[in-house]
Amino acid sequence: MISTIKGDITGLDFDMIVNAANAHFARGGGVCGAIFAKAGPELDAFCAKLPKGKAGDVRISPAFGLPSKAILHAVGPIYEGTKENAQALAGCYWNCVAMAYQYKREHDLERLSLAFPCISTGIYGYPHEAACDIAVRTIRKIRSAFPDTKSIDIIFVCYEQIDYELYKKALKEL
C-alpha cells in the first residue's frame, strides 16, 4: 500500500517514521525540530554519537518518546537545481526503504509501516512538485525492482496542504 495523509508525523503510530535530517543528525527546524522535541532528550544524545552524513545518507535510531518504534534520519539535499540534488533526494527514499526492509526482516515482521515527511521541501528549498515526483517515482522503482518491498506500507505524511494535494494527485495516477 502506498498512501498519503495530511497531518503531523510526530503523533502517528507507525512502525517507522522518517526524519528530514541535517548532515549532523542534530536537532533542526521544521519536521526535524518537531521530531526531536517530541522524542525527548534521549534522541539528542543518541544522534550526537552518529557519524556525519551527506545528502542521501540514512541512519536509524530508536523512537524514544514517539509512538513509532524507530526513526530513520534521511539527509535531504539543499536545493540548487542540479542532477545531483535529484539523485540525493531519490537516495533518501531508496535508502529508507532498504533500511526499513532490513529492519522488517531482522525483527521477523510480516508487514511494516513507514511514514515519510516531504524531505527537503522546507528550509532546504526543494520545489514541492519536483520533490513529490521524485518521491513517488523512486518508491515505484523500488517496488518494481524488489517486489518483496510491497510488504512495507508507505505513507507520505504531508504537513502542508500543497504537498497533500500533490501526493494525492500523484498517487491517484499510479
For residue 67, what is the domain's CATH number? 3.40.220.10
Number of structural domains in the chain: 1
Q: What is the pLDDT of residues 74-94, one digit of tens each?
A: 999 999 999 999 999 999 999
Q: What is the pLDDT of residues 32-69, one digit of tens each?
A: 999 999 999 999 999 999 999 999 999 999 999 999 99
For residue 173, what pLDDT is reported?
82
1: closest CA among 106, 169, 154? 154
CA distances from 159 to 6, 106, 110, 119 (A): 6, 31, 29, 11
What is the sign, positive or negative, of the torsion defined by CA atoms of 98, 100, 105, 110?
A: negative
Q: What is the pLDDT of residues 96-142, one digit of tens each?
A: 999 999 999 999 999 999 999 999 999 999 999 999 999 999 999 99
Residue numbers of the domain that contains 70: 2-172
pTM of the model: 0.95
Over the range 66-93, which residues count as b (16 or more CB within 10 Å of their CB) and which as e?
Answer: bebbbbbbbbbbebeeeeebbebbbbbb
Judge whether residue 174 has pLDDT over 80. no
